[in-house]
Structure 1
Amino acid sequence: MNQVQSAIKSAHSVLTQKQKKDGHWVFELEADATIPAEFILLEHFLDRIDEDVEQRMGVYLRRIQGKHGGWPLYHDGAFDISASVKAYFALKAIGDDVDAPHMRRAREAILAHGGAERANVFTRFQMAIFGEVPWRATPVMPIELVLMPRAGFFSIWNMSYWSRTVVTPLLVVRAVEAQAVNPRNISIQELFVTPPEKIRDWNHGPFRSVWGRLFTGIDKVIRPIEPFMPAKLRKKAIQAALDFIEPRLSDGGLGAIYPAMANVVMMYRALGVSDDDPRARQAWQALLDLIVTHGAESYCQPCVSPVWDTALTGLAMVEASTGSRPTAPEATRDMLGKTAAWLRERQILDIKGDWAMNTKARPGGWAFQYDNDYYPDVDDTAVVGMLLHREDPKANKEAIARAREWIIGMQSSNGGWGAFDVDNNLDALNHIPFADHGALLDPPTADVSARCISFLSQLALPEDRDVIDRGVAYLLQEQEKDGSWFGRWGTNYIYGTWSVLCALNAAGLDHDHPAISRAVTWLESVQREDGGWGEDCATFEGAPPGRYHESLPSQTAWATLALMAAGRKDSPAVARGIASLVAAQGEDGEWQEKPFNAVGFPKVFYLRYHGYRQFFPLMALSRYRNLAASNSGKVEYGF
């Protein structure tokens, strides 16, 4: 146990040093090649080229090129046609010679996989903006859709928050058929197997259902009609789009996510708005704030994650400072007092965002980012609520009460919780030609639902029992045949199983419940020989759940936390997992982890939270130490 305590002390010290003066934490959030590539192309769209930034992003893009010649969607991943086309396009734009070895390898790989014509819808929009493909290469998405009420099948109000904010400015860009300035006249025609002007059918599938074929047929019917839409109606629709977008603009940008933010910048330029206009300046600055630089490299984050990072780090620090051998308890309490104050200031109490369409609950949530008040995040709110309750339930009483009220109001009719909306589950929309990424919606998921159950169970209010029970019933229905749970917002089955086992424990299910026993058996079956656990993003694409060729700190922490929540603190599997974490820690108190550990859209967009490798191992080690010293040996909290 002395080694465990030493590891806790070192990890605690690292996080202490990383806390900001005002009490919060924020770590880098990294995606794949597409975001920095799109930023470079955006600069060329606008002719606002920052040569220094672009060259540093070029260094980053060259470094992450895969051995297959193209670019993957996550560390050590398979070739992805869309990411590869964008990365090649961006590198050519900043001046890379097409005959350079890395460009030649990329081009050969792209052509071998069917050429740029096989790229996804968002990439085809990018190419249309630069005149590389005709606009008919993009699905029909009339701007008039924004005029459609929620009762309309194709209404933007039936889409998820991220889809709504990404699509609305993009519809304007498409309506006016915006064209990039492209000052260097960069073209990528060499990436096409068939010349774009000769391609008749761009909606080539694969179609996931009969719905897909039906909507493709509708696309073909509407396409010749769209140019004849009345000019007054189109003008009204563009104004309606602006009326939606502009109240939601902030220093964090529209929706505080890169695609929506970039589309707003392009929209304003396409509408002739000056770059000096306050709206355009604010939208552009929000993008610049996403850039991260390390020496000769830069990349653009998809968004920032301060609230999420702060809540999770705070929970790890609370765990480290409790028990019979706490780590710097007084100093930690002072730190967390500042953290709680910082979080309370950011609770959204007076803005009814898009989520209010389907609930009468008062505002009370937290957004994921610094500034995104229209779109509080259910997952963040539950985790912040748990932290505030553990930090000081009396001082944080009002904030916890409003969070509880909002979380209860956000429960969907099937008992689960989505990330941002209630009952956002019109699945047929995922089969329209525009939605080839299959993530247009925000239905309930096991991991988010588990967090809400954990929060409400931690509060232990009798009047919440029905809400909790309906949530538990949803989780039990979602269990996979092998005993695991799908993670959705984290990688992947280990993440989902950890989330749910914590919730079931907090909700009071017996540790011998069949669902818990099956989950434990599965977790133990995928433990690696070195005692750790590993899983990468390939499991979102059909790879065996819970398996990888190396153990990872975040995955090992999740698995051990899950087993401890299931009452197996004394099992050999937990002991081996803890030993693996201790052995993997560096002399500087940090753990290292290159593989991505989360997902935006499965098979399309993945994420690497740089803080996961540090605060989750600290949480697991501290929990293990505390349980070993506890009389009951039971995990008391839902996380």
Structure 2
Amino acid sequence: MNESDVVEQAVDAAHGALQAMQKADGHWVFELEADATIPAEYVLLEHFLDRINPELERKMGAYLRRIQGAHGGWPLYEDGDFDLSASVKAYFALKALGDDPEAPHMRRARTEILRHGGAERANVFTRIQLALYGEVPWDAVPVMPPEIMLLPSAGFFSVWNMAYWSRTVIAPLLVLCDLRPIAVNPRGVHVQELFCTPPAQIKDWIRGPYRSWWGPVFKGLDSALRPMVRHFPRKLHKKAMRACLRFIAPRLSDGGLGAIYPAMANVVMMMRALGVPDSDPRAKQAWQALQDLMVDRGHEAYCQPCVSPVWDTGLAGLAMLEASDGPRATLPEATRRQLASTAAWLRSQQILDVVGDWAVNAPGLRPGGWAFQYDNAYYPDVDDTAVVGMFLHRQDPVENAEAIARAREWIIGMQSRDGGWGAFDIDNDLDVLNHIPFADHGALLDPPTADVTARCVSFLAQLGHAEDKPAIERALAWLRKEQERSGSWFGRWGTNYIYGTWSVLCAFNAAGVPPEDPAVQKAVAWLERVQRPDGGWGEDCASYEGAPEGVYEESLPSQTAWALLALMAAGRHGTKAVERGVAWLAAQQDGEGRWHEKPFNAVGFPKVFYLRYHGYKQFFPLLALARYRNLEDSNTGRVEHGF
């Protein structure tokens, strides 16, 4: 069988496999997995409330034990290094489930936790979890008075200067930190053995390492503010607490507050602390939203950080369209109907009547975006919107014209002053806030990033409106400034430099930047340099932590697909590097038309929180192989679409 036949066979098999995964109403949704932190927090939430589901917890225990690292603790991603905060939470959860502290896996975990400084050195969110159980005093937590909810957007510490995920997590957390409830903890589980120094003897909970000189400045401010908080006027304090609740109430939905686990869990605990009975409709809705995050595999279970149906559907739809395109492809009537239903489902998810938090910095802009999840109307994001817009434009630009027009209007209005795009907010770049004690994760903000900016350029360029050229040119100038010395681009939302470079090269191609451009040539040279001997590409999440860019111990389907799509966008489809990558990708496909990979492939917050999108290994290889086939058959050899 020649190469052409091999690729065609792989495309057909992958197309059929992905089509079989589609839901009846036209959308796709795949598992979204994180590290031990979220399932461990969920176990502790059940014990905080005394709403224990023994069968679910038995399966979560099996999951947590399986993903324990060889080093004895828990990593943030597959085969990652020991992480103190994740390990403290996982140990605490397993002990709550009934694991004997003297069992070998618990002893190993405890030894490593103590060797790394003990639970007292865990991050802020872990110390808050410990405070809710009475394991540490509330002095272990940075001062976060609810009065900050009263600050206008012009206020330095205003929540409106923080990212969407920060606002939704903080609002109920401010109430919790003020009320200071203690977990029911029906089994009386404690983890004092995880501390190198008894918590009552610790005088200084907030200490470096600091990321800049702002760290000790804000630490001093925290120390000065701490004794003052109790003297704030009572009337002002009550007003602030009401402001927290006023913020939360309209944003509650079947998807939960912000549709992300930490905010959703904080709301459930907040309601309990406020005395809201579990039978209250609001409490029932908030609890059900958490249950909807569960993945039950029969022998084990875990809790997702959120769900990704809109993102999965846009990307899977683009892969299906590519596979159905080109001279050798025929679009079966069944596929045509399914993709029409996909477009209809996506149109039904567009947010047209809710003015979300983004409007604080973009007043007067009409809504028109898509959220990542099923139900998160206050928080659409431009990355999803650009991907969905490109799919709708390719699927049927006439039928989808109104949805595309509204998406275009919203994306243009969300461009930041520097020419780039953040994910959820505009001009959300007050970097100094990342140095306050509460933000020890360094991810309080949502500034413009190369991957999101590139996606917006790809969408606007694919539409081809002449009046959008100034916005595109500003974005291209911003992207050029962001190119790394190596020639790559940083991938904020996908692992990592391969993802970022793929995103930008697609945007450059869509915007008409020629392959001869020095920035393109430099990126191509980097991609070809990091290609693995077997023909594939791979990158370790450790690249977010200082490891070499674009390097891993094995080739991965999703990363190889990104590299191939990048090179083809740069006009390199006929090169040896691309041919070798295509051969590797086709050879890795199983007999059912699927690919497999274990390593994590995305990031929530670099150095803090990583993700495994289970759909990436299915739709990106299909997109890459179908693109290669179509370019081989093309008269121009040029990628004609933004993505």
The answer to whether the superposition gives a TM-score over 0.5 is yes
Matched, 1:31 2:31: no
Q: Is the 8 A contact 1:318 1:332 kept in 2?
A: no
1:233, 1:266 → 2: CA distance?
24
1:42-101 deviations in whole A, cap 9, x for unaligned?
001101000111110000000000000000000010000000000000000010000111
Superposed displacement of residue 233, structure 1: 1.9
- Residue 438, structure 1, aligned to residue 442, structure 2: yes
**C-alpha offsets along residues 28-50 of structure 1, whole Å, 9 cap, x if unaligned?**
00000000000000001101000
Following superposition, the deviation at residue 234 of structure 1 comes to: 1.8
Q: Would you say the 8 A contact 1:320–1:327 is kept in 2?
A: no
Match of 1:93 among 89, 93, 96: 96
Contact 1:12 1:327 in 2 (8 A): no
The answer for the alignment partner of 1:403 in structure 2 is 407
- In the TM superposition, residue 375 of structure 1 has moved relative to its aligned partner by 0.3
**Counterpart of 2:133?**
130
| Whole-Å separation in 2 of the counterparts to 1:536 and 1:250 | 36
Change (3 A) 1:541 1:327: farther
Distance 1:408 1:158 in 2: 21
Query: Which runs of structure 2 are paired with 1:134-533 in the superposition (5 Å)?
Result: 134-326=137-329, 328-359=331-362, 360-533=364-537
Distance 1:327 1:214 in 2: 64
Query: Given the alignment, which residue of 6, 27, 40 partners 1:3?
Result: 6
Quick one: percent identity of the two aligned structures?
71
> Secondary structure at 1:499's aligned position in 2?
helix
Distance 2:329 2:129 in 1: 53
Residue in structure 2 matched with residue 621 of structure 1 by the alignment: 625
Q: What is the aligned counterpart of 1:605 among 606, 609, 614?
A: 609
The structural deviation recorded for 1:231 is: 2.4
Native 8 Å contact 1:8 1:327 kept in 2: no
1:402 deviates by 0.2
Q: Deviations over 1:211-251 (max 9, x none)?
A: 11110000000011112223222221111100000100000
Given residue 130 of structure 1, which amino acid in structure 2 is its aligned partner?
Answer: Y
Structure 1 CA distance, aligned partners of 2:304 and 2:8? 35
CA contact (8 A) 2:166 2:444 kept: yes
Asked if the contact 1:505–1:566 (Cα under 8 Å) also holds between the matched residues in 2, the reply is: yes
Contact 2:564–2:581 (Cα < 8 Å) also in 1: yes
Note the alpha carbon deviations across 1:87-123, whole angstroms, 9 max, x for none. Answer: 0000000100001111011001101111111100000
Q: Give the equivalent residue in structure 2 for 1:538.
A: 542
Which letter does structure 1 place at the counterpart of 2:190? S
Q: What TM-score, normalized to structure 2?
A: 0.99
**What is the Cα-based RMSD across aligned positions, in Å?**
0.7
**Equivalent residue in structure 2 for 1:581, among 582, 585, 589:** 585
Aligned equivalents of 1:481, 1:111: Cα separation in 2: 39
Pair 1:118 & 2:121 matched: yes
Q: Quick one: distance in 2 between partners of 1:202 and 1:10?
A: 56
Q: What is the total number of aligned residue pairs between the two structures?
A: 639
Give the whole-Å Cα distance in 2 for the aligned partners of 1:173 and 1:283.
16
Classify the secondary structure of the residue corresponding to 1:228.
Answer: coil
Q: Is the 8 A contact 2:560 2:585 kept in 1?
A: yes
Q: Secondary structure at the match of 2:302?
A: strand
Which one is further off, 326-335 or 406-415?
326-335
CA distance in 2 between partners of 1:330 and 1:627 (Å): 24
Q: In 1, distance between residues paired with 2:118 and 2:586?
A: 47
1:494–1:523 contact (8 Å) kept in structure 2: yes
Q: Is the 8 A contact 2:600 2:613 kept in 1?
A: yes
Q: Separation in 2 of the partners of 1:382 and 1:329?
A: 27
In structure 2, distance between residues paired with 1:21 and 1:390 = 22
**Secondary structure at 2:230 match in 1:** helix
Pairing partner for 1:632 from 627, 631, 636: 636
> d(CA) in 1 for partners of 2:198 and 2:102?
21
In the alignment, the residues of structure 1 paired with residue 234 and residue 273 of structure 2 have an alpha-carbon distance, to the nearest angstrom, of 17
* Contact kept in structure 1, 2:536 and 2:581, CA below 8 Å: yes
How far does residue 328 in structure 1 lie from its aligned partner after superposition? 4.3
Q: Is the partner of 1:223 in helix, strand or coil?
A: helix
| Counterpart residue type for residue 573 of structure 1 | A
Maintained 8 Å contact 2:73/2:108: yes
> Which letter does structure 1 place at the counterpart of 2:144?
M
1:599 is paired with a residue whose SS is strand
For the 8 Å contact 1:322–1:329, the answer to whether it is kept is no
Give the letter aligned to residue 588 of structure 1: E
Contact 1:256 1:371 in 2 (8 A): yes
Gaps of 5+ in 1: none
For the 8 Å contact 2:33–2:304, the answer to whether it is kept is yes
Q: Which structure 2 residues correspond to residues 61-76 of structure 1 after superposition, within 5 A?
A: 61-76=64-79
Unaligned runs of 5+ in 2: none
Shift of 1:579: 0.3
Q: CA deviation at 1:205?
A: 1.5
Q: 1:401 is aligned with what amino acid?
A: A
Task: Please tell me the residue identity of whatever aligns with 1:290.
Answer: L
**1:423-474 deviation per Cα after TM superposition (whole angstroms, max 9, x unaligned):** 0000000000000000000000000000000000000010100011001011
Contact 1:261 1:286 survives alignment (8 Å)? yes
User: Counterpart of 1:326 in structure 2: which amino acid?
Assistant: A
Q: Deviations over 1:392-434 (max 9, x none)?
A: 0000000000000000000000000000000000000000000
Q: Shift of the alpha carbon at 1:22? A: 0.3
Secondary structure in structure 2 of the residue aligned to 1:456: helix
Structure-2 separation of matches of 1:226 and 1:358 = 30
Deviates more, 1:168-177 or 1:323-332: 323-332
Aligned counterparts of 2:209 and 2:329: Cα–Cα separation in 1: 55
| Contact 2:325/2:331 (8 A) holds in 1 | no
Q: How does 1:97-108 map to 2 (within 5 A)?
A: 97-108=100-111
